[in-house]
Amino acid sequence: MLRKRFALIAVLLTVALLATMSPFALASTLRQTPQMLNIGVIGPIDGPTAQGVSLAVERLTGKGPISGPGGAAFNFSVLAADAKTADDVSAAITQLKGSNVVAIFGPDDEQLAAGSSAALAGAGVPVFVGATSTAVKTGGQVFRTRAASNRQAAALADVMIKDLGKNKFAIFQGNPGVAGPVSEVVTTLTRAGKPPAPPVIQVENGAVTDSAKVLMDSQPDAILAYGDPAQLAQLFLALKAANYAGTFATPVTDTPDFIRNIPPQLRTGLYGVTTWPYSWNSADSSEFTRDYVATFGAVPTALSAAAYDVAVALILGIKDAGFAPNALRTRLLAFPKADSVQGSFNPKLGNGELSASTYVIVTNRFGAPTVLARYDETGRLQLVETPPTATPKPPTPTLVPTEVPAGIGGTVRANVNVRTGPGQIYPVIGQLRRGERVQFVGANTDFTWYVINFRAQQGWVSASFFTDLFGNIRDLPIIAPPPTPVPTPTPPATFTPSPQPFADLIMVSATMNPPVPQPGVPLTLSVVVKNNGNADAGEFAVATSFKPGEVYTAVVVPGLPAGQQTQVNLTNTVNGTGIFTIAIVLDLNNQVNEGPNGEANNKPEFSYRVDRNRIAQGNVNIPPGNSVDFQGGTPDVSYDGTKLVPLNGAKLGLLPGVQMAQIYWDFLSPDKINNAVGIAQADLVPGAVIGIYTAEGKRGALRVSGYAGTTLQLEYFVYDM
């Protein structure tokens, strides 16, 4: 039987959030027949996300239906549709929508969620994903239930450097699906002044022992490993077999598939980072874990805790606003930051992020995780572990809210004018400074302007200039605006309104390192971003998708004062070669208020080449009747005065209209370079470009520079493969 002594709502919500929710409303039997609302899950019905949602449903409806707007009554059920591919996700959404779900949880797999971003954004109902990669697009109706991977990278690096004193890092990437988190931890360590060795990328079907050897070649004192749990267990054992004595850390440390593959005598002292460990012994977390185990016979995961937290908020949002998608989204975003099983639930993070709770852990001698440090969006938090009491709690919810300011209001995020009415046509009567916290006394009908008491009169301030809102904005009284001011006949030239302060993010420069990256080798695009405006910019993300392959990469900048600039390093790895132009997005999620025109310069373009190394290049003269070897010792071509002839298995290909600077390794494909007979004199005109496969099978290019009498003059280069 499900335990009822847990404080149902205190685990997630503050007094402000629950102001309209009494235990009697939850427990009462309503006169009208309850309506059944379905919550969808993309994933197995017995998976951690579905079970977390189911536990929330059981807790909140255990004493009866939920009362909603207008006296409606709701019960809830959980439906699941599993998916393994992006096409499966689209089919699952269609199937769940056919069952009239009010929201969808999942998918939680990082690659699957990232590859399904378009389908999730078009679902038409709130979607909650547990995937943490920043490659997963959130915002609009798509929410992330756990702290993003860049926050986890920052927390892990902080403990490694500051607490453990580590200086030399090596990084392991076990599969392409973890390229995003690997890029983020590389960027984080580099910004902290501890750039790691180039990541060791596991070759498909390659031996993990080979990767272990390469990792140890850089003599690191800490190895950060990303990949599948079983694979990382093999890597750790290979490192120990090679006498590695440094620190080993991975985001899967607390997962059974990892720790069970480690012999008991080696399970102690393994580090990790997670959004919630099952051993976190706050009262709320411990009781959630006990009830989860009692209900499902399994230990909850971080996905379970995240799903539970958000499902509680979802149900209470439906209680307040109904289940229409836009109204429900608005209500969810209006909830204040509050305590939760994960640590905190905070829709004020922006861009669909619902939690920034992160834990750095280390295993005890039995392999169980112990919390070393915990973080949220404010930084490192005090580590207080209070063992749960054995005294049963009463079944009536006991609210233990986080401290919330009285009334309804928010914090000013940038200097802003206070006006006599809701619009720039109204006169300015003063200004609020960035960081001020004010209370609201009313709002206009669409809540785009708030009313405050300002110097003994009503002042109106645009809602877009507030963050960290507290209280229920929708409870504000609607205040009619004053009459629209009538312009005076004073000449317009004498009216000089105070300029509205806005940030303005611009790109100062972008530099690729190395200048010509190679496929399969990490590249770094260093972007210098400047705030060219007259207001400070808060947190924003700089991102791009490297080509070939659209390899998404993003870095979060915590803020940028007006007039200042910062360097952002976008690091990743691409496969393939080519010449590309990409857009660098300076404010990925439109978090910075740049005014009516400031966003226009937020997508500067950058061009670069990805190519393989050249092992030979130069100029050569070929008199009639002679041959030449471009590299390797075996003649590649001969010239008889009438034709350029390939030798010893070499092949040629005339490339009309092509310049040498336009050639890259993949451009020289077999469909272009297939002439084993020769190229006639008529085509060997000055400026003609010819692709070549040498006698050794290496790719290259030739250019006819001209003639010295009857001698053919060529410019050439040859790739290393």
**Tokens 């060529």 correspond to what residue?**
714
Residues 163, 156 contacting (CB under 8 angstroms): no
Neighbours of 43 (CB within 10 A): 24
* Torsion angle of the four alpha carbons 244, 247, 248, 251, in this order, in degrees rounded to the nearest 10: -170
For the cut 80, the answer to whether the pLDDT of residue 489 exceeds it is no
Structure tokens belonging to residue 541: 């993300």
pLDDT tens digits, one per residue of 140-188: 999 999 999 999 999 999 999 999 999 999 999 998 888 888 888 998 9
Q: What one-character DSSP code corresponds to residue 677?
A: S
Q: Exposed/middle/buried for 263, CB within 10 Å: 0-12, 13-18, 19+? A: exposed
CB 41, CB 50: distance < 8 Å: yes
Give the angle subtended at the CA of 236 by the CAs of 233 and 242, to the nearest 5°.
145
Mean pLDDT of 700-714: 93
Query: Please, are residues 456 and 463 in contact by the beta-carbon 8 Å criterion?
Result: no
Is the per-residue pLDDT at 486 higher than 70?
Answer: no
For the segment 209-265, what is each residue's pLDDT rounded down to a tens digit? 989 999 999 899 999 999 999 999 999 999 999 999 999 999 999 998 899 999 999
Mean pLDDT of 490-517: 73
Contact 144, 353 (CB under 8 A): yes
Tokens for 42, please give them: 């993309």
Please tell me the pTM assigned to this model. 0.54
- The per-residue pLDDT for range 613-667, each reduced to its tens digit, is 999 999 999 999 999 999 888 999 999 999 999 999 999 999 998 888 889 999 9
Render pLDDT for 593-609 as a digit per residue (tens, 0 to 9). Answer: 888 777 778 888 888 99
Do residues 530 and 564 touch, judged by C-beta distance below 8 A? yes
pLDDT at residue number 12 = 40
* Burial of residue 471, with CB atoms counted within 10 A of its CB: 0-12 exposed, 13-18 middle, 19 or more buried: buried
Interval 278-303 mean pLDDT: 89
In this structure, what token pair is assigned to residue 498? 């105070």
Cβ atoms of 469 and 348 within 8 Å: the answer is yes
CB atoms within 10 A of CB 567: 13
Residue 578 contacts by C-beta under 8 Å, 6 or more apart in sequence? 547, 548, 609, 610, 664, 666, 667
Residue 496 pLDDT: 46
Contact predicate 155/251, CB 8 Å: no
| Residue 405 pLDDT | 57
- Mean predicted confidence (pLDDT) in 273-296: 89
Residues 403-431 have a mean pLDDT of 81
User: Is residue 437 over pLDDT 50?
Assistant: yes
Please, is 85 exposed, middle or buried when counting C-beta atoms within 10 Å of its C-beta (0-12, 13-18, 19+)? exposed
Q: Which residue has the higher pLDDT, 634 or 8?
A: 634
**Residue 111 to residue 228: CA distance in whole angstroms:** 13
| Partners of 618 in beta bridges | 716
Angstrom distance (rounded) from CA 27 to CA 66 = 8
On the 0-12 / 13-18 / 19+ scale of CB atoms within 10 A, 333 is: middle
CA distance 67 to 125: 21
Question: Is the pLDDT at 494 greater than 50, yes or no?
Answer: no
Phi, psi at 424, each rounded to 5°: -70, -10
- Whole-angstrom Cα distance, residue 232 to residue 227? 6
Q: What is residue 379's three-state secondary structure?
A: strand
Q: What does the block give as tokens for 716?
A: 């050439």
Sorted by where each starts, the structural domains of the chain and their CATH numbers stand as: 23-146+287-352 (3.40.50.2300), 149-274 (3.40.50.2300), 415-482 (2.30.30.40), 505-610 (2.60.40.10), 614-719 (no CATH)
Give me the long-range contacts of 367-372 (CB less than 8 A, separation at least 24). 367/259, 367/262, 367/264, 367/267, 367/268, 367/270, 368/279, 369/253, 369/254, 369/272, 369/274, 369/277, 369/278, 369/279, 370/279, 371/277, 371/279, 371/280, 372/159, 372/163, 372/271
| Helices within 297-324 (DSSP H only) | 302-321
pLDDT at 110 over 90: no
What's the whole-number average pLDDT of the chain? 86
Looking up tokens 């606003």 gives: 321
Three-class SS state of 319 = helix
Give per-residue pLDDT as tens, 550-608: 898 989 999 999 889 999 999 999 999 999 999 999 988 888 888 877 777 888 888 89
- Percent residues over pLDDT 70 in the chain: 90
pLDDT of residue 388: 39
Q: Which residues pair with 359 in a beta bridge?
A: 274, 374
Would you place residue 384 in the very low, low, confident or very high pLDDT band (cuts 50, 70, 90)?
low
SS3 654: strand
Residue reference for tokens 């209006």: 334
Burial class (CB in 10 A: 0-12, 13-18, 19+), 639: buried
Cα–Cα distance measured from residue 41 to residue 49, given in angstroms and rounded to the nearest whole number: 7
Are residues 318 and 101 in contact, defined by beta-carbon separation less than 8 angstroms? no
How does strand 222-226 pair with strand 169-173? parallel
pLDDT above 90: residue 353: yes
Cross-strand pairs, 460: 419, 451
Angle between helices 302-321 and 48-61 (to 10 degrees): 40
Picking from 638, 636, 663, the residue whose alpha carbon sits closest to that of residue 650 is 636
**Average pLDDT score over residue span 716-720:** 94
- Asked if 461 and 450 count as a contact pair (C-beta separation under 8 A), the reply is yes
6, pLDDT greater than 70: no
Are 578 and 609 a contacting pair, CB within 8 Å?
Answer: yes
- CA pair distance 370, 486, nearest whole angstrom: 67
3-state secondary structure of 522: coil
SS3 state of residue 381: coil
Per-residue b/e over 574-592, b at no fewer than 16 CB within 10 Å? beebbebebebbbbbbebb
Residue 392 has pLDDT above 80, yes or no: no
Per-residue confidence at 32, pLDDT binned at 50, 70, 90?
A: low
